[in-house]
Chain A
């Protein structure tokens, strides 16, 4: 039984959206959730990788260890995730890497019924978040690296000459200053991640783009579903940009540069 079409402005089939409203709301929550998790873990990962890429040691054995165990792997990781399309990473993760590790038949880490349950309930979420986090981490590590490198060497020397260790110098002196400069590029990365999360619908994660695809598939109508999610993404990116500006304002004190 067909519901009565509701037309807005003579062409917008609002009833279609209303019919699928739960999918759009759930999609909105999922998009926000995936973005928040991706940014949080991406930032943590980016910080670690960014520092790994800058790692160096004074004396011989440690010097080689840092190069082979930290700098090179970090460089390869960043290069791969910045050098391949996110869509490809998502497909690889969901249909290749995760099934290899987690599979009812012969998963390397999880197998049997647990693997089936996990995959059915969290499979798309897991691989989507993994791919987004790894991708964001690669980009954010470059932001951290540039931010750290932009801090005057004199700051590090002043801190070290007071007896602060490398870690304390990073924590108390370099990172707080770098963070302030990194806020605008971090904000851009967050917005990019929010938009790119739409690619995860390809593995069946029910976020905003998934809702739009479902509706478009059912009705062969594109204006209504895609305009709807476009507006939702737009509002989200505006809110995110506003939040970043507030943070910049808040942490902007005392910086002369």
Chain B
């Protein structure tokens, strides 16, 4: 149980935050997203950021009456930018994990994700274990990086880390990797762009959920976003967005 003084601090913080949120009402909230991650978020040739994440946050925002401004932020920098206040929230295919929960607050899940393996069509790989001793590409700091680090060892030379999913796919295509691991939405989308690649679904991967991230303690904003998410699920907006980007019916998000 928390001692008295932190609780007092918490209460004060709460009021300060509530006041700040009220004062910031007119200011658009800055939303960070790494726009190299189709179909979740990517840039059109006209420099517009579009994608599933973008549609979701905009639908949520209009439901709860806030305005948002999207900023394209490299994935490796989103958390730091959230910490130092450059960003108010992040929607960028971020997997909710216990480790991240220690440092940030998440909304309820808005997407059910799973890791997916991409390999050359000729590959005999059937699951994650088959990749032992092979060169595996992941995006630095991603869930796939965590999984690979856990499975093959954090400092293993067989894990090759790159900045973005397109780079690991490019490396896979040019023969530098035996496999690439990433979130199912993105990997499937990228793999179908290349004839020589196929995807391998390992049912052993745990289900994961994407959530919207706010700074630790910004519960006011988080609660608001949660109510918005509930509302767009209830009125069918969410299902419509999901169909637009994934061409299938959504599994119901579990709060």
Contacts and interface: CB of A to CB of B under 8 A. Distances in A.
A–B contact (CB under 8 angstroms): yes
Interface of A: 19-23, 26, 95, 98-99, 103-105, 115-116, 119-120, 123-124, 202-204, 206, 210, 213-214, 216-218, 220, 222
A218 B175 contact: no
Interface residues of B, number: 30
Given A214-B161, A217-B142, 7 more contacts: A19-B154, A95-B167, A124-B176, A204-B162, A210-B161, A213-B140, A214-B154
A194 to B, nearest CB: 22
A115 B140 contact: no
A204 B161 CA distance: 6
B67 interface: no
B203 interface: no
B163 A202 contact: yes
Contacts of B80: 220, 222
A218 B155 CA distance: 12
B69 interface: no
Interface string B77-90: 00110000000000
Nearest to B141: A217
28 contacts: A21-B155, A23-B155, A26-B155, A26-B157, A95-B170, A95-B174, A98-B174, A99-B175, A105-B175, A105-B196, A120-B175, A120-B178, A123-B171, A202-B162, A204-B161, A204-B171, A204-B176, A206-B157, A213-B76, A213-B140, A214-B145, A214-B161, A217-B76, A217-B140, A217-B141, A218-B141, A218-B154, A220-B103
B157 A120 contact: no
A216 to B, nearest CB: 7
A21 B153 CA distance: 13
B236 to A, nearest CB: 36
Centre residue among A26, A95, A217 by max chain B CB count within 10 A: A217
